[in-house]
Amino acid sequence: MATRKLEKPEWQRYFDWVSTSTLGQRAEIEVASLEIGAQVEAEWLPILGLVYDPQDDLLEVVLEGVDHLVRKPREIYVDEGIAGLESLMVVDADGVRQILRLRDPLMLPAPSTAAP
């Protein structure tokens, strides 16, 4: 894995690309701060999209049944491996860390249609 910091001018373009390439993968969201400790907000739900809106300075992570908003992100770090994005960490204006971990969906063989 290679961790790198994304610079703010590349956030919108990066998340537009990531949103299409991660569709269908599953993700977990963990929120961590000194006040609340580490708490899991979502566990391995399908990703529907990741969008950065520069006008509102808002990062939106949409999972099935969860719409996670990060207002005024201050720093974004991504871990990229051979298969692409593996995780990202967003630090908001209050110093709260939002960690998104990704994994590929489990590939199962198609069910048999033959009667037993």
**Contact, 26 vs 102, CB < 8 A?**
yes
Spell out the domains of the chain, with CATH numbers in brackets.
2-103 (2.30.29)
H or E element: which one contains 20?
helix 11-21
Q: Write the pLDDT tens digit of every residue in 104-116.
A: 754 445 555 555 5
Q: Write the pLDDT tens digit of every residue in 38-92.
A: 999 999 999 999 999 999 999 999 999 999 999 999 999 999 888 788 999 999 9
